[in-house]
Amino acid sequence: MTEKIAVIGGGAAGMLAAYAAAQNGAQVTLYEKNEKLGKKIYITGKGRCNVTNGCGQERFFDQVVSNPRFLYSAFAAFDNRAMMRLLEQAGCPLKTERGERVFPVSDHASDVIRALERLLLQSGVKVRLNSRVKRLLTKTGERDGQPLCEITGIELADGKRESADRVILATGGLSYPSTGSTGDGLLWAGELGHVMTETAPALVPFEIREDWCRQLQGLALKNVELSLELAGKEIYRGFGEMLFTHFGISGPLALTAGSYYSAALARKRKKGMDGEQARLFLNLKPALTPEQLDKRLWRDFEEQKNKDFKNALDGLFPARLIPVMTALSGISPDKKVHEITRQERRAFAELIRRVPLTVTGTRGFAEAIITRGGVGVKGINPSTMESKRVKGLYFAGEMLDVDALTGGFNLQIAWSTGYLAGRSASQGGEEG
């Protein structure tokens, strides 16, 4: 008899789950509460959709912040190369850019979604848009003398009940709630007895205490280094691009640091510890050693020794950053360069390599790219994505307590876990 599978959530994980399940001959219905599929995919990569990352397996897992080992089976079943082949075969040619980030050649996320929609159509998946699921239907029984909870179907918002042999939950986390990620699946999982790990915004911008950040709103810096310290201990250091905003800092560097910050705070709270003051340090000249930077300053100052300090920094910083760095240095902006002491010059060099920023918090879920935390992975079979508590219930995507850094890694987690969940559900939960 043909298996009936309900997939809840028409995002990245849900679409791959539905496709994989249908490939094995199951009768698949995909329920999406929005008016279209892939609503969050439309805004990823600034509308270009960073589909995946073309790196090797070792580097891929290095980029996973939470529970990388849980993903081994999912990645083995359907990795980044498999996803790239699938999209290209579905009529969406891809290209690889800096950092091995993979995008559609067209630079339009809509082309990725259209390719996936074609795959669903060709596979016979029934797509139900504007269909909000209200709750999961289960029955209780016994197996080997132990109580057993088993999926029987779903109930829609209009009260209609539909039977299903298997249900795949791919409802997403809490980030970008405007796209429909409102935590429905997390609530259902908790009600069914799954251990839930604390959720928090991840890949999220920082709010900064210093007012001068707001003065620089809109200024982007490239090739800089950012380090994050919590209670005096460095927990992240990265190189790349960042952006000053009206609330603090954003951009790839800040977003990545934001994930490490969220994870560190969660670990401390789990141990019953309060969050200590976090600080960020910005290195504006990471390519230079302290000695090289001091020599560079000495040379620049020698060449402009009769200028005022504030007018001798054009070769070092963007124009908008000069008055800020001048003020932070403590050196009078009108002081002649030849009057600056060696001690002042060296202190200025140290400032350039370690501009301090005081973290007051992060932005909320509305601005977070992903959600950290969710359904605890210990309650899920990593070889199948099936719940250990509820027979016939599978999980995929962002609602799992797995998250990674920027660069296409989180979308690949969605593709891989979705594919494995769909394949396993269509095989009745059997491994392989």
- What is the model's pLDDT at position 38? 93
Give the integer Cα–Cα distance in Å for 224 and 216. Answer: 16
**Tokens for 59?**
């580097």
**Tokens for 400?**
């799992």
**Tokens for 141?**
């029984």
Q: Report the alpha-carbon angle 86-89-91, nearest 5.
A: 115
Neighbour count for residue 161 (Cβ, 10 Å):
12
- What is the model's pLDDT at position 150? 95
**Distance of CA 52 to CAs 40, 48, 77, 95, 358, Å?**
15, 12, 16, 11, 33
Given a contact cutoff of 8 angstroms between Cβ atoms, the answer to whether 244 and 213 are in contact is yes
Given a contact cutoff of 8 angstroms between Cβ atoms, the answer to whether 185 and 9 are in contact is yes
Given a contact cutoff of 8 angstroms between Cβ atoms, the answer to whether 400 and 94 are in contact is no
Burial 167-189, CB ≥16 within 10 A → b, else e: bbbbbbbbbbeebbbbbbbbebb
Which positions ≥6 away from 411 have C-beta within 8 Å? 12, 41, 44, 49, 50, 51, 52
Torsion sign across C-alpha atoms 359, 361, 363, 369: positive
**Tokens for 138?**
């289960």
Burial grade of 44 (CB within 10 A; 0-12, 13-18, 19 or more): buried
For residue 57, the surrounding DSSP H or E stretch is: helix 57-62
| pLDDT tens-place string over residues 88-112 | 999 999 999 999 999 999 999 999 9
- What is the model's pLDDT at position 122? 97
- What is the model's pLDDT at position 275? 56
- What is the model's pLDDT at position 267? 77
Q: Which residues of the chain have pLDDT under 50?
A: 431-432
Give the integer Cα–Cα distance in Å for 114 and 95. Answer: 17
Give the integer Cα–Cα distance in Å for 324 and 331. Answer: 12
Burial grade of 40 (CB within 10 A; 0-12, 13-18, 19 or more): buried
Amino acid at 126: K
**Tokens for 146?**
């132990």
Give the integer Cα–Cα distance in Å for 96 and 416. Answer: 19
- What is the model's pLDDT at position 432? 41
Q: What is the pTM of this model?
A: 0.88
Which positions ≥6 away from 1 have C-beta within 8 Å? none
Counted residue by residue, the chain has a size of 432
Q: Which long-range contacts (CB under 8 A, 24 or more apart) does 104-111 make?
A: 104/48, 104/49, 104/51, 107/48, 108/47, 108/48, 108/49, 109/38, 109/41, 109/42, 109/43, 109/44, 109/45, 109/47, 109/48, 109/49, 110/42
- What is the model's pLDDT at position 77? 97
Give the integer Cα–Cα distance in Å for 201 and 177. Answer: 12
Q: Which of 287, 302, 375, 361 is nearest to 336 (CA)?
A: 302
